[in-house]
Structure 1
Amino acid sequence: MSWLILILSGALEAVWAAALHRTSQAKGRRRIMPAALFLISVIASTGGLAVAMQSIPTGTAYAVWVGVGVVLTSAYAMVTNVERATAARLLLLAGIAACVVGLKVVA
């Protein structure tokens, strides 16, 4: 169960990163929703990380949390055309994903 919570918390890291980006682009009242989403998702994400760290070693949990977050954040940025999807970028992100899977296998 801790691993599922950790993966979901990593996914929420991508949500708060995207919401933070949208907050910086919005003006006036349009800023409230991304800011609220940012606050809710950052609290849930770090809370989930804290719960997972009760049974998963700190270094492993943090590396998986960040790895999941960075891969999903980058994928979102590529899908929304904020970043270009180059072969090198995709290969390196696949390497990060493989390392996250490797940490699960050896932990």
Structure 2
Amino acid sequence: MNWILLVIAGLFEVAFAFCLGKAKSATGNEMYLWYVGFLVTLGVSMGLLVKATQTLPIGTAYAVWTGIGAVGTVLVGIFVFKEPATFLRILFLATLIGSIIGLKAVSAH
């Protein structure tokens, strides 16, 4: 169950990075709404991470959480914010995904 919470926490990390990206290009009240979204998703992400680390090893949980956030944020950058999808970028993204899977595979929980 805590692995599921950790994955959801990672997805909320992607959401708060997305909110930061949208706030950067917004103005006025819309910008403040994106910052509120950032704070809410940050709080949910951190809360779920804390809950997951009650039974999962902190080093593994934190690495998986940040890895999910990094992979998701890069994908959002490519598909939403039209960042470049170069060969090397995709290669390193694939190695990061492999590392996340590997950490999960060797975890005792």
Cα distance change on mapping 1:40 and 1:81 into 2, 3 Å: closer
Aligned to 1:17: 17
- Root mean square deviation of aligned Cα: 1.0
Matches within 5 A, 1:16-95: 16-95=16-95
Q: CA deviation at 1:18?
A: 1.0
What TM-score comes out, normalization by structure 1 length?
0.95
Q: Which runs of 4+ in 1 moved over 6 A?
A: none
Q: CA deviation at 1:54?
A: 0.5
Deviations 1:47-92 (A, max 9, x none): 1100000011111000000000000000010002442001110110
Unaligned segments of structure 1, at least 5 residues: none
Q: CA deviation at 1:3?
A: 0.4
Unaligned segments of structure 2, at least 5 residues: none
Question: What is the percent sequence identity of the aligned residues?
Answer: 36
**Equivalent residues, number:** 107
Structure 2 letter corresponding to 1:99: S
Structure 2 letter corresponding to 1:29: N
Q: CA deviation at 1:24?
A: 2.1
